[in-house]
């Protein structure tokens, strides 16, 4: 149990008794875990889990737009970057580049000076470029929190009124990044963009092509004969989804889901998150009672900003770029848990929701019970003595719960070399897996106690009580987990459609501009839209 004591020691010394008291349930002595104890409302294990599993994917970033996590990474030699503009010059100041030419050619047109032609640059990385990635919808320059994490790094404070001060932000980020040799900053736009600090450092211009405008937007008035009109991107109102054609949106679909943008290689073991309670304890109270949509870094104490910037600087030190010591493939450790449970929990949810109280629900209850038993099969110890038709105390089932909770993530000897970020991720995985185990074990134990599998006749009131309890337990678990895998178009889209979550500045077809999702920071709903322009 050396590993366990290492972990406990880290928890105890992680800058704070705070972690231990605030996240009191992040107690790794699993032997003491009980079926009745759920994570504290201030525990951020679920947010850290979702953040890590969402890195470099578009769908979750557009749902929860306010990023909290900063990760160093590299763009390998040979990566292509694109930039579009109105003149044939290579930028001499920090500027945007896109990983997808669908995005850069669109902007190429927007910056065209004669509305007929524009210049498109293709750059090749000649060495690996050092980048810093901001998660969330970090390319969206909007009030509401999408760029809080960038402000903290660039300015050491959040300037809520200055959300649109883009050239100053990027140039200050680059000035700050010089000491660490940072070449650029990665943000989610439609797809990913790289804000490059110096177009001549480590990059070669592969081509500068004079291109025809990629689109000819026609005014509503068809007798109009002049040059194509450049529609002003009025973000607040939105523009039709196919205003410029759909290439850019289709490109964004490619990175919507795991593994997302594979051309950027992140060093997760150097990740810094404002959801880390030991790093930013002042945010616990500003988040309290807030839906995740409204989580912001605004409100963080100056002390925590200094600590966070110090941690980021530590993680960017020259010797830290040499590679992962533990050798653990963190993305796959997270993805495995999602793969294992996302569909199963959803199926349980649908089955529980499919009953009609007027009919005999025992067949469906049996079916749900068999699913639960299947999920727990690897942990259903021979020694466990179920108390059938007991007084429903379920304590007999706790060994099953603890076996399930201990099974993932595994303790590995590489833990001796874990970085703070790796401990954070390990603790998040452990808490999230433990909570799934707790709820499914509790539900399964209900079924065992009512002998759901064998008894043919049940008294309906008891069965309905179990049903209600199951629904409550599963609803609570699924809203705590809040996996974006469950945010989907239902019914599924047709073959020539795509499931679309709003992308600025495009308006969802048929949506009322006055109820714009960006302004109101509501939970955006996905819609099926045609892959063809009208
Ligand atoms: C916004 O930027 C201006 C200068 O561009 C500065 O004077 C002002 O203090 C900034 N706002 C905040 C809240 O810092
Ligand atoms: C950009 O990089 C080139 C090549 O390393 C260097 O010569 C130049 O001084 C840099 N420009 C700035 C503004 O730092
Ligand atoms: C259409 O455009 C023409 C030329 O610009 C203009 O004379 C005419 O009034 C416009 N018609 C409408 C209905 O806007
Ligand atoms: C959670 O945080 C809030 C705000 O700081 C605090 O009032 C509350 O006591 C905390 N709850 C627990 C269970 O720690
Ligand atoms: C749950 O059941 C209700 C009533 O039958 C139905 O309207 C709703 O769409 C169902 N929800 C899901 C997610 O299937």
Over residues 388-443, the pLDDT tens digits come to: 665 667 789 999 999 999 999 998 998 999 999 999 999 999 999 999 999 999 99
Decide which of 30 and 283 is more confident: 283
pLDDT of residue 245: 82
CA of 229 to the centre of ligand 3 (A): 14
Average pLDDT of the chain to the nearest whole number: 87
- Report whether pLDDT(513) > 80: no
Q: Which atom of ligand 4 is found nearest the CA of 22?
A: 14
Residue nearest to atom 14 of ligand 1 (CA): 159
pTM > 0.85: yes
How far apart are the C-alpha atoms of 290 and 464, rounded to whole Å? 33
pLDDT of residue 357: 62
pLDDT tens string 248-294: 999 999 999 999 999 999 999 999 999 999 999 999 999 999 999 99
How far apart are the C-alpha atoms of 362 and 350, rounded to whole Å? 16
- Identify the band that residue 355 occupies on the pLDDT scale cut at 50, 70 and 90: confident
How far apart are the C-alpha atoms of 184 and 195, rounded to whole Å? 5
Q: Where are the alpha helices (DSSP H) in 377-459?
A: 398-407, 420-449
How far apart are the C-alpha atoms of 38 and 36, rounded to whole Å? 6
Q: What is the mean pLDDT of residues 72-96?
A: 96
CA of 67 to the centre of ligand 1 (A): 22
| Contact assessment for residue 191 and residue 255, using Cβ atoms and an 8 Å cutoff | yes
Q: Which atom of ligand 3 is found nearest the CA of 220?
A: 14
Decide which of 218 and 91 is more confident: 91
For the ranges 284-298, 316-330, 464-478, 484-498, the lowest mean pLDDT is seen at: 316-330
For the ranges 26-40, 166-180, 415-429, the lowest mean pLDDT is seen at: 26-40
Ligand 1 pocket (Cβ < 6 Å) reads 159, 161-162, 165
pLDDT of residue 31: 82
- Identify the band that residue 315 occupies on the pLDDT scale cut at 50, 70 and 90: very high
Q: Which atom of ligand 4 is found nearest the CA of 284?
A: 5
pLDDT of residue 534: 75
- 226, 208, 206, 207: which is closest to 218 by C-alpha? 226
pLDDT of residue 6: 38
pLDDT of residue 143: 85
Q: What is the mean pLDDT of residues 114-126?
A: 91
How far apart are the C-alpha atoms of 130 and 170, rounded to whole Å? 16
Residue nearest to atom 9 of ligand 3 (CA): 221
Q: What is the mean pLDDT of residues 324-342?
A: 95
Q: What is the mean pLDDT of residues 377-398?
A: 83
Residue nearest to atom 3 of ligand 4 (CA): 285
Is the shortest distance between the CB of 350 and ligand 5 below 6 Å?
yes
Q: Give the number of the ligand closest to the Cα of residue 471.
A: 5
pLDDT of residue 241: 82
Q: What is the mean pLDDT of residues 325-329?
A: 91
pLDDT of residue 305: 98
Q: Give the number of the ligand closest to the Cα of residue 281.
A: 4
Q: Which atom of ligand 5 is found nearest the CA of 350?
A: 14
Is the shortest distance between the CB of 284 and ligand 4 below 6 Å?
yes
Burial category of 234 from C-beta neighbours within 10 Å (exposed 0-12, middle 13-18, buried 19 and up):
exposed
CA of 395 to the centre of ligand 4 (A): 28
pLDDT of residue 32: 82
- Identify the band that residue 516 occupies on the pLDDT scale cut at 50, 70 and 90: low
pLDDT of residue 358: 65
Instruction: Out of 345, 349, 351, 353, give the residue to mutate to test ligand 5, the one with the largest number of ligand atoms within 8 Å of its CB.
Output: 353
- Identify the band that residue 23 occupies on the pLDDT scale cut at 50, 70 and 90: very low
For the ranges 9-23, 117-131, 263-277, the lowest mean pLDDT is seen at: 9-23
Structural tokens at position 58: 């578009």
pLDDT of residue 182: 98
- Report whether pLDDT(16) > 90: no
CA of 256 to the centre of ligand 5 (A): 26
Is the shortest distance between the CB of 18 and ligand 4 below 6 Å?
no
Q: What is the mean pLDDT of residues 79-95?
A: 95
Is the shortest distance between the CB of 22 and ligand 4 below 6 Å?
yes
- Report whether pLDDT(457) > 80: no
Residue 311: HSE in the Cβ half-sphere, 13 Å Cα cutoff: 25
Is the shortest distance between the CB of 468 and ligand 5 below 6 Å?
no
Q: Cα angle vertex 105, ends 102, 108, to 5°?
A: 150
Residue nearest to atom 1 of ligand 3 (CA): 221
Residue nearest to atom 9 of ligand 1 (CA): 159
- Identify the band that residue 515 occupies on the pLDDT scale cut at 50, 70 and 90: low
- Report whether pLDDT(114) > 80: no
How far apart are the C-alpha atoms of 436 and 442, rounded to whole Å? 10
Burial category of 29 from C-beta neighbours within 10 Å (exposed 0-12, middle 13-18, buried 19 and up):
exposed
CA of 389 to the centre of ligand 1 (A): 68
pLDDT of residue 30: 79
- Report whether pLDDT(359) > 80: no
CA of 42 to the centre of ligand 4 (A): 6
Ligand 2 pocket (Cβ < 6 Å) reads 198, 200-201
- Identify the band that residue 243 occupies on the pLDDT scale cut at 50, 70 and 90: confident
- Report whether pLDDT(75) > 60: yes
Q: What is the mean pLDDT of residues 311-340?
A: 94
| Contact assessment for residue 60 and residue 50, using Cβ atoms and an 8 Å cutoff | yes
pLDDT of residue 219: 46
Residue nearest to atom 3 of ligand 5 (CA): 353
Residue 446 contacts by C-beta under 8 Å, 6 or more apart in sequence?
A: 392, 394, 466, 469, 470
């Amino acid at each position: 149990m050396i590993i366990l004591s290492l972990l406990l020691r880290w928890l105890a010394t992680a800058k704070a008794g705070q972690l231990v008291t605030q996240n009191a349930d992040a107690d790794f002595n699993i032997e003491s875990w009980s079926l009745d104890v759920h994570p504290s409302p201030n525990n951020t294990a679920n947010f850290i889990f979702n953040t890590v599993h969402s890195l470099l994917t578009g769908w979750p970033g557009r749902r929860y737009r306010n990023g909290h996590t900063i990760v160093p990474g590299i763009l390998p030699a040979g990566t292509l970057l694109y930039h579009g503009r109105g003149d044939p010059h290579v930028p001499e100041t920090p500027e945007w580049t896109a990983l997808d030419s669908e995005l850069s050619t669109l902007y190429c047109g927007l910056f065209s000076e004669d509305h007929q032609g524009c210049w498109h640059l293709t750059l090749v990385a000649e060495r690996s470029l050092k980048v810093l990635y901001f998660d969330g919808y970090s390319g969206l320059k909007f009030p509401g929190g999408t760029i809080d994490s960038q402000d903290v790094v660039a300015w050491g404070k959040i300037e809520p009124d200055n959300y649109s001060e883009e050239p100053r932000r990027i140039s200050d980020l680059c000035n700050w990044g010089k000491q660490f040799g940072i070449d650029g900053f990665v943000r989610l736009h439609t797809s990913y963009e790289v804000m490059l600090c110096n177009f001549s450092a480590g990059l070669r211009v592969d081509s500068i092509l004079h291109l025809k405008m990629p689109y000819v937007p026609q005014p509503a008035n068809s007798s109009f004969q002049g040059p194509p009109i450049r529609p002003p991107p009025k973000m607040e109102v939105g523009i039709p989804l196919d205003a410029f054609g759909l290439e850019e949106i289709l490109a964004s679909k490619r990175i919507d889901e795991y593994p997302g943008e594979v051309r950027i290689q992140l060093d997760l073991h150097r990740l810094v998150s404002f959801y880390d309670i030991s790093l930013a304890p002042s945010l616990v109270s500003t988040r309290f009672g807030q839906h995740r949509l409204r989580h912001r870094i605004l409100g963080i104490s100056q002390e925590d900003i200094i600590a966070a910037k110090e941690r980021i600087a530590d993680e960017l030190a020259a010797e830290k770029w040499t590679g992962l010591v533990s050798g653990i493939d963190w993305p796959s450790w997270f993805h495995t848990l999602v793969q294992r449970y996302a569909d199963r929990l959803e199926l349980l949810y649908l089955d529980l929701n499919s009953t009609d109280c007027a009919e005999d629900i025992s067949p469906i209850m049996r079916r749900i019970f068999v699913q639960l038993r299947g999920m727990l099969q690897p942990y259903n110890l021979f020694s466990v003595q179920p108390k059938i038709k007991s007084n429903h105390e379920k304590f007999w089932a706790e060994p099953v719960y603890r076996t399930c909770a201990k099974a993932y993530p595994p303790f590995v000897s590489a833990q001796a070399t874990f970085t703070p970020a790796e401990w954070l991720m390990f603790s998040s995985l452990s808490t999230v897996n433990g909570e799934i185990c707790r709820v499914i074990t509790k539900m399964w134990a209900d079924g065992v106690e009512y002998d759901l599998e064998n008894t043919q006749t049940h008294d309906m009131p008891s069965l309905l009580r179990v049903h209600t309890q199951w629904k409550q337990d599963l609803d609570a678990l699924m809203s705590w987990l809040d996996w974006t895998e469950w945010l989907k178009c239902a019914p599924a889209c047709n073959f020539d459609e795509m499931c679309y979550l709003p992308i600025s500045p495009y308006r969802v077809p048929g949506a009322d501009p006055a109820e714009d999702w960006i302004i109101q920071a509501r939970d955006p709903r996905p819609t099926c839209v045609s892959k063809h322009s009208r």
